[in-house]
Structure 1
Amino acid sequence: MLKPCTIVLGMAQNCDQAEGDLIGADRGALVCARQQRRMVMAIGDFDSVNAEEMTMIRQYADQVEVLPVMKDETDALSALHWAKEQGYQPIILTGGLGGRQDHQLANLLLVMYQEVPIILREKNNELSCLEPGRHVFKANAARFISFFAIEPAVITLEGFLYPLDHYFMDRGDTIGISNEIVDQEAVVTLDQGRILVVRCNDAKLNS
């Protein structure tokens, strides 16, 4: 049976968006420990925590892996590799938006180009990727839902304020921005291509 996990990254304020087992990535492990949340793994170079904080992390982690500061991949990617090896699906990332733009972009690329389902989840935003097929979305607090082509796609939207019928969506096309679900559930059908989905419940972000 597939089991979800949440990788808590350094920009997380708390673990409130977590689902399944917790993995603390670098300073994200300290966030979990301060909330007294048990982690199956704490991984990172931990160059941003002091000795007292590291002791707290070890207290709340089943396993700890300390990585070298000089390395070829981010702490988030190392945590993701470990989660994939354990067979977790989907893998949720929280604390990956805000802060440095390069880190934010790197986390977005993880969502778009990994071979396992990755969800980037924050208080007001959730980003995920859709593969070809039929996908059902239910109305919730996330009022706005947007669709962007990761690669050229043919998309049909049913049950949305702005429906589409076998629309060819190329990269850079913004027709899918700021849509809304108008029925109890809505259906996205992808005949080809891959789509980035962004759900947002902050009306101030509506353009």
Structure 2
Amino acid sequence: MTQKIVRSETPVTLVGGGSVGPGDIALALDHAPLLVAADSGAGAALEAGHVPVAVIGDFDSLRAADKVRLPADRLFPVEEQDSTDFDKALTRISAPLVLGVGFLGARVDHQLAAFSTLVRFRHQSCVLIGQHEVVFHLPPRLALPTRAGDVVSLFPMARVSGRSTGLLWPIDGLMFEPAGRIGTSNRATGPAVIETHGPGLLGIFPREALGDVVAALRSPAGAALP
């Protein structure tokens, strides 16, 4: 079992080295006040005026100029090269929720790797914040106060089914899989409830829904899949 470096009873903001918008870190910190960085994400955190409580990664992309600005006791190198820095950081955090910035946008291969991480380490609830959307692994049951017309996209990373209420195109009786049926560009007709019959389904919602997503995932009904 991977040893935890950061243990928190409140949500944690995790900053990566990818595309970080001007308001991304501040938005995440509104909901998750403890800031951790994955490798070169420390640079973005420092530029925003924050010193991470921990920096986790293989440090192959952490700039020397940023490294010297960080207290030595907050640097946690992980030498192996078989996982991404997002993997390394997320698996060493224990928190009710992690909000990730700097993992969407920029390079497509990094973004795809991040989606894989969300599924493989789904026991740790995590929401990735992008320029226009938020992305997360769906828990067994998710209830959101969506409004009629809101875009609700579901993307399978494995073969998975479920059921729904409050969606223009219900998912009941459908089998999703990456090389088969997917569920992008659905729309809410009002408050929506989505239930999944197994792991592997990502939810993609408008960025404006972040507060509602955080509340839903922190509720007892929104507990992550084991």
Q: TM-score, normalised by structure 1?
A: 0.78
Share of identical aligned residues, percent? 27
Aligned with residue 35 of structure 1, among 39, 48, 58: 48
Q: Which runs of 5+ in 1 are unaligned?
A: 203-207
* Counterpart-to-counterpart distance in 1, 2:60 and 2:180: 41
Match of 1:3 in 2: 10
Q: TM-score, normalised by structure 2?
A: 0.72
Please list, as runs of the form range in 1=range in 2, the aligned pairs for 1:15-54 lying within 5 A after superposition.
15-18=25-28, 19-20=31-32, 21-54=34-67
C-alpha deviation, 1:53, in angstroms: 2.2
Matched, 1:76 2:86: yes
Match of 2:132 in 1: 124
Larger radius of gyration: 1
Give the count of matched residue pairs.
Answer: 191
**What SS is found at the alignment partner of 2:174?**
strand
Q: Which runs of 5+ in 2 are unaligned?
A: 1-7, 209-226
* Counterpart-to-counterpart distance in 1, 2:207 and 2:83: 32
> Which consecutive aligned stretches of 4+ in structure 1 deviate over 4 angstroms post-superposition?
none
Match of 1:199 in 2: 205
* Counterpart-to-counterpart distance in 1, 2:60 and 2:155: 36
Please list, as runs of the form range in 1=range in 2, the aligned pairs for 1:108-123 lying within 5 A after superposition.
108-114=115-121, 115-123=123-131
C-alpha deviation, 1:201, in angstroms: 5.6
* Counterpart-to-counterpart distance in 2, 1:2 and 1:180: 34
Give the partner amino acid of 1:32.
Answer: A
Are the equivalent residues in 2 in contact too, given 1:17–1:122 (CA < 8 A)? Answer: no
Aligned CA distance change for structure 1 residues 44 and 189 (closer, same or farther; 3 Å): closer
Give the partner amino acid of 1:106.
Answer: A
* Counterpart-to-counterpart distance in 1, 2:83 and 2:61: 17
Describe the superposition over 1:15-62 as per-residue Cα deviations: whole angstroms up to 9, x where unpaired.
13424211111111111111112422112333434433222233xx97
* Counterpart-to-counterpart distance in 2, 1:49 and 1:155: 41
Match of 1:205 in 2: none
Aligned CA distance change for structure 1 residues 81 and 189 (closer, same or farther; 3 Å): closer
Matched, 1:103 2:110: yes
* Counterpart-to-counterpart distance in 2, 1:45 and 1:78: 8
Aligned CA distance change for structure 1 residues 139 and 46 (closer, same or farther; 3 Å): same
**What SS is found at the alignment partner of 1:43?**
strand
Matched, 1:170 2:176: yes
